[in-house]
Copies of this chain bind each other. A is one copy, B any other.
Amino acid sequence: MKIAVYGYGNLGKGVECAVSKAADMELVGVFTRRAPESVKVHSNVPVYHADELDRFEDQIDVLIICGGSATDLPKMTPVLAKRFNVVDSFDTHASIPEHFDNVDQAARESGHIALISAGWDPGMFSLNRLYASAILPQSSNYTFWGRGVSQGHSDAIRRIAGVVDARQYTVPVPEAVEAVRSGNNPQLSTRQKHTRECYVVAEEGADLERIEKEIVTMPNYFADYDTTVTFITMEELQRNHAGIPHGGMVISSGKTGWENENTHVIEYSLKLDSNPEFTASVLVAFARGIYKMHSRGDKGCKTVFDVAPIDLSPVSPEELRAHLL
């Protein structure tokens, strides 16, 4: 299976590493919109300019697109799905139906297959919401994120005047998690589910009170949450907040029995040392999945919901049934 990476940020680097560990895959190249000679890859895979993709049409089974959801993927994925089987990690939940339709049209017309929104949320968390809902039709799904670094929220803090650098952790509220685990289906507001912890490096002499106020009152990002701001030095930031950990859990609870007398709680949780490397590993598994589906004649836009689990594994069906079932 010949894989290529489009975009070489943290996610693209994770894909490069994950493909190197997959015995059934080969990395054809890293494609970048930057000057290829300026991109230092970790392995000995060749780096090409994105414009060179055309001449690789017969040499790439699946192209893994590692761009951002805000501006890159809505344009990139439909265009690239005309020429390649592609996987992306589009994670703007509200825009998924529109993105799906655009990609579906492009992939269908050209006979390709395109899987969008792979990763862990959307991705593995979505799968667990679906499985739980299918098994327990009247169940409620609760999703908690963290403890982990939110790149978007960290960026939002960095845009404030006087801020040099920042790291924002999203943290589930323990009492809320316990209430959900009890199977009581609590009603929880945004504020009751998560808190936000901000570690901020400010310019020397900056007005810390103003910065703190700008953070905690920022609409959409922080105003609806209990937010704490801690000012630290750059040295502390680099020593204690260098990693990109994340994770979270999907907890579903539902009832069975004629009087709904029996409660069942299903919980799926992730504790990830590296958010981009885990996401990359999910993208690579689903690249394998759509490659198999395409080999059987399938085409169009897919999501994680459409892929039979058996297609994600490099192991034979006989071995999977004997050892994992």
A residues whose Cβ falls under 8 Å from a Cβ of B: 14, 17-18, 20-23, 42, 93, 96-97, 100, 117, 122, 124, 126-131, 133-138, 141, 181, 183, 256-258, 261-274, 277-278, 280-282, 285, 288, 303-310, 312-315, 317-318, 320-322, 324-325
Measured between alpha carbons, how far is A96 from B325 in the docked complex, in Å? 8
Determine whether the beta carbon of A305 is less than 8 Å from that of B321.
yes
Partner of A325, one of B23, B93, B137, B278: B93
Determine whether the beta carbon of A281 is less than 8 Å from that of B135.
yes
Contacts of A264 in B (CB 8 A): 270-274, 277-278, 281
Determine whether the beta carbon of A310 is less than 8 Å from that of B321.
no
Determine whether the beta carbon of A313 is less than 8 Å from that of B257.
no
Determine whether the beta carbon of A130 is less than 8 Å from that of B310.
yes
What's the nearest-Cβ distance from chain B to residue A284, in Å?
8
What's the nearest-Cβ distance from chain B to residue A308, in Å?
5
Contacts of A135 in B (CB 8 A): 124, 278, 281-282, 285, 312
Determine whether the beta carbon of A42 is less than 8 Å from that of B265.
no
Determine whether the beta carbon of B17 is less than 8 Å from that of A257.
yes
Determine whether the beta carbon of A273 is less than 8 Å from that of B263.
yes
The 4 A-B pairs at the shortest CB distance, nearest first, are namely: A262-B273, A134-B312, A256-B277, A305-B310
Contacts of A268 in B (CB 8 A): 128, 266-268
Q: A117-B325, A130-B313, A308-B308 are in contact. Are A22 and B281 (CB under 8 A)?
A: no
Contacts of A122 in B (CB 8 A): 325
Contacts of A130 in B (CB 8 A): 309-310, 312-313, 320, 324
Measured between alpha carbons, how far is A256 from B10 in the docked complex, in Å? 13
Contacts of A307 in B (CB 8 A): 308
Determine whether the beta carbon of B282 is less than 8 Å from that of A305.
no
Partner of A278, one of B23, B183, B256: B256
Partner of A321, one of B97, B141, B257: B97
Known interface pairs A130-B313, A264-B281; 13 further A-B residue pairs with C-beta atoms within 8 A, sorted by A's residue number: A17-B256, A18-B256, A23-B137, A97-B322, A126-B325, A130-B310, A133-B313, A133-B315, A256-B280, A266-B269, A268-B268, A305-B317, A305-B325
18 contacts between A and B (CB under 8 A): A100-B321, A124-B266, A126-B325, A130-B310, A130-B320, A130-B324, A133-B313, A135-B281, A135-B312, A256-B278, A257-B274, A261-B273, A262-B272, A262-B277, A266-B269, A267-B268, A268-B268, A305-B309
